[in-house]
Structure 1
Amino acid sequence: MSKIKVAIQGTRASFHEEAAFKYFGQEIETVECETFKHTCEALKKNEADYVVMAIENSIAGSLLPNYTLLHDYHFPIVGEVYLSIQLHLLALPGIKLDQIRSVESHPIALRQCADYLEEHPLFKVTEGMDTASCAKKIADNKLTDTAAVANQLAAKLYGLDIIERRIETNKKNYTRFLILSKEKTENPKANKATLLFQTDNSIGSLARVLTFFSEEQINMSKIQSMPVVGKRNEYDFYVDIEWKKQNNYDAAIRKTLKHTINFNILGEYIKNDKI
């Protein structure tokens, strides 16, 4: 039986692969992609069965370019997974902290460790493509004076030691990932959805739509606006909603349809916010 193929942005042992393992389990084949757009292309070309795509981080905020990919590719969202972002300082086995002269990682990971790096002003800090690729570079090139900021999975895969643990500034940092598929699947246990729509420019048009959710006991967990390309003062609204009773959700959708433009349900799935 062939393994499920999951497209990830970055190198093996990146946080995207860790999120894929958390959602699907260890028995998968990850398809490494240089960019998020490449992950969508891999799914489009049937080179992958699913995409794991980061959509927001509790510190860095929403990944706005990925909302554009959701809009452009319209792949159904079939799930979500939250991952605690724990960052460590990795180096070759036997290397001590006082031997480190250079630290490399993804720019966001470096920013998330800013306090620690400020405590070591002699480190030369260099940005890399992703956390795991920086760890792999150290292992491949036997760099004895360089450390990577990455996760425990990268240390294990590339044979590196963790010389400083949990160096991230905010210990409650997490990232939310979406699971995208090429085919929409009906899930009778779905209790969360991501909607995409526009409203007209009349006064209170968006507020009116949001009131429908409240009237039907629907919890709106997130709203993200993105400008409509080439149209001034027009916006796409991406809204995450959660419900306990299916009939409330159905009623809210019927009301929303009548008062929105270009309405789409990007996915209905099971809420999965355990970190």
Structure 2
Amino acid sequence: MKRIAIQGIAGSFHEDAARRYFDEDIEVVECKTFTTVCEMIDNDQVDYAVMAIENSIAGSLLNNYQLIRDYHLRIIGEIYIHIQMNLLVNEGVKPEDITDIHSHPIALRQCMEYIEHNYPNAQLHEKLDTAASSKLVADKKLKDAASIANLRSAELYGLSVLDTGIETNKKNYTRFWVLSKHGNPTEGSNKASVCFEVGHFYGSLAAVLNTFAKNEINLTKIQSVPKIGKPNEYMFHVDIEWEKPENYDHAIHQVLKCASSLSILGEYQKGNLHNE
């Protein structure tokens, strides 16, 4: 049975992503922080990890880019999870009873219109993740509080669903990377995540991007990440897709000539959006 490290606990979106990606019986190893997740892989305590890298509303998790580089991890896959938020309570709790709402800070922001309209006077409590919020409400048998989380949290912790789909943006997705300590290119790879540096002179970044374009490589994302302790220096992370593997190979060899450094973080199959 594969051991998969996640940030958060059972019922979190990380667990959902892990189970959907591997589509088999797995052992989920809960970690408090993303750093612990990386340490688990690095110390061979787990086989793989699933880590959020960006949300379609909240944006990129820049620290996770840094962690992947620091621990020299390999990206072997990706999965997108549709983020639906729900208001969960203990049995018997009614809307008028709610004075406190617990959830992850990003989840709270994603549901702010709903909260302000329905619970304008509620106290908001930020927790490590949505599932932990639900577990707290359930374990303490709170009768004046609710959590915002997914439906699996309600099932796992015995909570009632007071309202569903309370997020403001209904097309909200989180992208997760599947990480390994040792990774070879995934069979049938059509996407890669690479990072590079360029010199401080005009046209240096454009030269790299134009190289991808000339080789019919589709650039789906570019993210600059500051280099810690080095002001005005950045690593550029890009996601690229291709139809012809030979175009990708040729582009990488050409980029090596115009970038001051280049690292391929992973080659894998492009993930699809899940609407469930």
Tell me which residue corresponds to 1:266.
Answer: 265
Using the size of structure 2 for normalisation, the TM-score is: 0.96
Tell me which residue corresponds to 2:110.
Answer: 112
1:30 CA drift (Å): 0.7
1:21 CA drift (Å): 1.1
Pairs within 5 Å for 1:223-238 = 223-238=222-237
Could you tell which deviates more after superposition, 147-156 or 256-265?
256-265
The sequence identity of aligned pairs, in percent, is 51
Q: Alpha-carbon deviations, 1:203-223, whole Å to 9, x = none?
A: 101101100111111000001
Q: For the residues of structure 2 that align with 1:165 and 1:233, how far apart are their CA atoms?
A: 45
1:26 CA drift (Å): 4.9
Q: For the residues of structure 1 that align with 2:91 and 2:214, how far apart are their CA atoms?
A: 59
Decide which of 81, 98, 101 is 2:99's aligned counterpart. 101
| Mapped contact 2:76–2:185 kept (Cα < 8 A) | no
| Mapped contact 2:5–2:31 kept (Cα < 8 A) | yes
1:273 CA drift (Å): 2.8
SS at match of 1:180: strand
| Mapped contact 2:185–2:266 kept (Cα < 8 A) | no
1:194 CA drift (Å): 0.4
Tell me which residue corresponds to 1:243.
Answer: 242
AA in 2 matched with 1:43: I
AA in 2 matched with 1:166: G
Tell me which residue corresponds to 1:129.
Answer: 128
Tell me which residue corresponds to 1:91.
Answer: 89
1:141 CA drift (Å): 1.4
Decide which of 72, 75, 95 is 1:74's aligned counterpart. 72
Q: For the residues of structure 1 that align with 2:163 and 2:15, how far apart are their CA atoms?
A: 22
Tell me which residue corresponds to 2:12.
Answer: 14
Gaps in structure 2 of 5+ consecutive residues: none
Which aligned segments of 4 or more residues in structure 1 are displaced greater than 3 angstroms? none
SS at match of 2:14: helix
Pairs within 5 Å for 1:102-251 = 102-119=100-117, 120-251=119-250
Decide which of 44, 47, 56 is 2:45's aligned counterpart. 47
| Mapped contact 2:86–2:148 kept (Cα < 8 A) | yes
Give yes or no for the alignment of 1:29 onto 2:27: yes
Could you tell which deviates more after superposition, 164-173 or 229-238?
229-238
AA in 2 matched with 1:93: E
SS at match of 1:143: coil
Q: For the residues of structure 1 that align with 2:251 and 2:205, how far apart are their CA atoms?
A: 14
Task: Mark the CA change 1:124 to 1:26 in structure 2 (over 3 Å): closer, same or farther.
Answer: farther
AA in 1 matched with 2:57: I
1:101 CA drift (Å): 1.7
| Mapped contact 2:82–2:273 kept (Cα < 8 A) | no
SS at match of 2:35: helix
AA in 2 matched with 1:235: Y
Could you tell which deviates more after superposition, 35-44 or 223-232?
223-232
AA in 1 matched with 2:39: E
Measured on the aligned residues, the alpha-carbon RMSD in Å equals 1.1
Could you tell which deviates more after superposition, 221-230 or 8-17?
221-230
SS at match of 1:154: helix
1:175 CA drift (Å): 0.5
Q: Alpha-carbon deviations, 1:138-167, whole Å to 9, x = none?
A: 111111111100000101111111101111
1:256 CA drift (Å): 0.4
Q: Alpha-carbon deviations, 1:5-33, whole Å to 9, x = none?
A: 11110111101001111101251111110
Q: For the residues of structure 2 that align with 1:264 and 1:274, how far apart are their CA atoms?
A: 27
